[in-house]
Structure 1
Amino acid sequence: MLSPRLGELASEFSMVERALGDPAVLADAQEYTRLTRRHRELEPLITLYREHERLSAEQEDTQELLADPDFREMAQADLSRIQSRLAELEADLEVMLLPTDPFESHDVLLEIRAGAGGAEAALFAADLLRMYTRYAEASGLRLSVLDASESDIGGLSKVVAEVTGDFAYRAFKWESGVHRVQRVPATESQGRIHTSTVTVAVLPQVEQAEVALDLSEVRIDVFRSQGAGGQSVNTTDSAVRATYRAGTPDEIMVVCQDGRSQIKNREKALMILASRLAEREREKQQASERAARSSQIGTGDRSEKVRTYNYPQNRVTDHRLEGDAKNSALEGVLDGDLQDIVGGLARAQREKQLLDMADADAERVDTRASA
């Protein structure tokens, strides 16, 4: 039996579709963006729900044909096919109704920072940037570098990039955490394996209007773009540095030198600043929730080692997965083939949610029985 929630969501989807045709909505960029995002979120679920409704009606018509000897055999075959597909749809819809991250359809701010390992960590940060660029392309997304700091030997000590496209955050959210590499550095004369780390942060992009950002607390500086991400724009003072609450413990500094336009770089810097403030608030809330229930949210903790890239063994191990699923071929992953890892992590999350729901339902039954 389908959840009544599906009917409510179908009604909401119809309302969103009508609203998107309203000239007043088309004239309001912020409302149009919000409704378009909601339409993208609901469309896959509503497509399956409508197929379920169509097949349910077809099932009733086919059952009536069973009474006719001339059509009974054909109707029985059709009924078997319909019932099998309905069962698949119901299972898929049950999963799609599970709670999802409210930012799944948002664009992404991707921050890559070299950690332990010095120059080798910076080289691996550059490798990860190439990997994510290829992964974005394979996923129908676009990755653009907004700011980067190059190391002396061609690595990257820090990168800030933007990933845009449908459900960019859903595709990248699992990458947040510490990525460890084990390999022989090019500068190692003794052939010893070194271990280095790179930290990756994935922030859902939010608009300035979505965050209580007081512009009186933001200092804007302009300067000449240079280095990675800004090589072609160093003829004008187009780069922008936005500093929130400069000189205080709350200070956040953002640099954007992606384009020639100072105005566009200023808008982008403020957007990144708003996204970081929103992420800071989410981290505070998560910390409070963890303290309250005395447990850790593993996949959301950036200090946790999420993946190891072992070059001598040509293997990538994702430490959040189990069994054979946790290991992948190194070459494929570095070439941007992350779909199996991301799919495994998503399935593991859904399975846990289903188990949690089953436990909660059983607890409610026990409570009613003992009342």
Structure 2
Amino acid sequence: MIESDLLTRLSGLVSRFEEVGTLITDPSVISDMKRFVKLTKEYRELEKINLARLEYIRTQEGLAEARAILDTEQDAEMREMAREELELCTNRIPELEEEIKLLLVPADPQDEKNAIVEIRGGTGGDEAAIFAGDLYRMYVRFCENKGWKIEQTSSTEGTSGGFKEVIFTVTGDNVYGTLKYESGVHRVQRIPQTETQGRVHTSAATVAVLPEADEFDVEIKESDIRTDIFCASGHGGQSVNTTYSAVRLVHIPTGIAVQCQDEKSQLKNKAKALTELRSRIYNMEYQKYLDEIAGKRKTMVSSGDRSAKIRTYNYPQGRITDHRINYTIYNLSDFMDGNIQEVIDKLIIAENAERLKEAEF
């Protein structure tokens, strides 16, 4: 019986929830920041499960009480209230069971992290760079609507506008867990600004979303980093091009290189570059986890495969099609204005269905 199985699994987590709650108040644990951060995260996850468990128990008790009243009570008003309670509880129990099942399935441990997003113009030359710029504006508006903070770390502009490459960080709640679905190849079909014959061209841009590594995730030795300082380029006035403020960091053991150029601050640039470097090193291991997911799942909704064509933006028809779930909508202008949550929600539902299937509930 679903009810009995769920309560049995939930009861086993109650003691762990109480244990972790005690541990995070222990001075010896608090002084070990790496362990404290890990336990605090576990506590938040267990707290969600415990709250759902308590609501599930209360709802079952409400259902039993309503049935008892209907079996024994003669008062018409009491019976009507019991019928309403019975209907409410009967509808709520299956919803709670689905919510609890999802909470019991291990989520991607990176979902709560901030994200580093890379957008690169792909096939299509100048038009691809223009499209990469359109995607960048789309994500900026989406993030602004979510109340997330965006910081651009580096960019290379296209000759006719847009970006050959733009990299930025996004800070907020559950950023990676939301934006990870955007990793892959985005294809656009439209008449380019540079087209004189009015023909529709197909271009592409790639989007990569990486979880931003915490300081405790990756330890980097200062001796393993080569630091290059050079003049920044781009907008910002004369000081940008004459002040040695841009920073390039090279991680010697892996060969990974990152660079960051802010307006004037070399220290700020180095701090941002170090965060990105740490994230890229961390991502090398994380990619193995994504590859493992991709090997198991059919739709690969969030597999992180950056070579997979995930979405087509057809301007003549005003259409967006997400190929992972075969979902099409006809509100392209609204979508490009940052209103992309509807598609992300559909992708989350598809992934949750896969996670539940894997867990064999």
What TM-score do you get using the length of structure 1 for normalisation?
Answer: 0.82
Counterpart pick for 1:306 among 305, 310, 313: 310
Question: In the alignment, does 2:136 pair up with 1:129?
Answer: yes
* 1:150-165 correspondence runs (5 A): 150-165=157-172
Conserved 8 A contact 2:181-2:301: no
1:74-93 CA distance string (max 9 Å, x none): 32432232232222211222
Structure 2 residue 58 is matched with structure 1 residue 54: yes
- State the SS of the aligned residue for 2:223: helix
What's the CA shift string for 1:204-236, capped at 9, x where partnerless?
A: 1112431253432221122333326x6697374
> Helix, strand or coil for the counterpart of 1:112?
strand
Number of aligned positions between the proteins: 352
1:265 to 264, 269, 283: 269
| Alignment check: 8 A CA contact 1:41 1:105 kept | no
The 2-side partners of 1:321 and 1:94 are apart by 22
Give the deviation of 1:3 after TM superposition: 4.7
Of 109, 116, 120, 1:109 maps to: 116
Q: CA deviation at 1:149?
A: 1.3
- Partner residue of 1:75 out of 79, 82, 106: 82
Secondary structure, aligned partner of 2:120 = strand
Q: Give the direction of change, closer, same or farther, for the CA distance of 1:19–1:135 in structure 2 (3 Å limit).
A: farther
Q: Distance in 2 between matches of 1:283 and 1:35?
A: 24
In structure 2, the residue corresponding to 1:210 is in which secondary structure? coil
1:28 Cα offset (Å) = 6.3
SS of 1:209's partner is coil
1:340 aligns with 2:347: no
**Structure 1 112/290 Cα, relative in aligned 2: closer, same or farther at 3 Å?**
closer
Please list, as runs of the form range in 1=range in 2, the aligned pairs for 1:192-203 lying within 5 A after superposition. 192-203=199-210
* One-letter amino acid matched to 1:180: R
User: Match for 1:166: what amino acid?
Assistant: D
Deviates more, 1:11-20 or 1:211-220: 11-20
Q: Note closer, same or farther for the CA distance 1:314–1:106 as it changes in structure 2 (3 Å cut).
A: same
Tell me by how many angstroms 1:338 deviates: 1.0
Helix, strand or coil: the match of 2:159?
Answer: coil
The 1:182–1:339 alpha-carbon spacing in structure 2 relative to 1, beyond 3 Å, is: same
Deviations 1:280-308, CA, capped at 9 Å, x for gaps: 223345557878x8989574211110011
Partner of 2:320: 316
Inter-partner Cα distance in structure 2 for 1:329 and 1:201: 24
Give ranges in structure 1 of 5+ residues lacking alignment: 362-371
Q: Deviations over 1:96-137 (max 9, x none)?
A: 323321111110010111111111111111111100011112
Mapped contact 1:37–1:105 kept (Cα < 8 A): no
Query: Which blocks of at least 5 consecutive residues in structure 2 are unaligned?
Result: none
CA distance in 1, matches of 2:147, 2:45: 17
- The 2-side partners of 1:42 and 1:197 are apart by 42
One-letter code aligned to 1:69: Q
Q: Is the 8 A contact 1:320 1:326 kept in 2?
A: no
1:138 aligned onto 2:142: no
User: C-alpha separation between the residues in 2 aligned to 1:73 and 1:170?
Assistant: 44
| One-letter identity of the residue aligned with 1:128 | L
Aligned mates of 2:279, 2:307 — CA distance in 1: 20
* 1:355 paired residue among 339, 342, 357: 357
Q: Is the 8 A contact 2:248 2:260 kept in 1?
A: yes
2:225 aligned with 1:218: yes
Question: Is residue 142–residue 338 contact of structure 2 (8 Å, CA) maintained in 1?
Answer: yes
AA in 1 matched with 2:276: I
Residue 166, structure 1, aligned to residue 180, structure 2: no
Q: How many Å separate the matches in 2 of 1:209 and 1:112?
A: 27
CA-to-aligned-CA distance 1:131-170 (integer Å, 9 cap, x gap): 0011112223222211111123222111111111110011
Shift of 1:334: 0.4
CA distance in 1, matches of 2:342, 2:297: 32
Local SS of the residue matching 1:152: coil
Whether the aligned pair in 1 keeps the contact of 2:299 and 2:324 (CA below 8 Å) is no
Q: In angstroms, what is the RMSD of aligned CA positions?
A: 3.2
Q: TM-score, normalised by structure 2?
A: 0.84
**Counterpart for residue 329 of structure 1:** 331
Deviates more, 1:155-164 or 1:7-16: 7-16
How far apart are residue 57 of structure 1 and its match?
3.5
Is the CA contact (8 Å cut-off) linking 1:98 and 1:350 kept in structure 2? no
- Does the 8 A contact of 1:122 with 1:157 survive in 2? yes
In structure 1, how many angstroms separate the alpha carbons of the residues matched to 2:45 and 2:169?
20
Q: How big is the shift at 1:51? A: 2.1
Q: Relative to 1, partners in 2 of residues 1:82 and 1:115: Cα closer, same or farther, differing over 3 Å?
A: same
Give the whole-Å Cα distance in 2 for the aligned partners of 1:349 and 1:3. Answer: 25
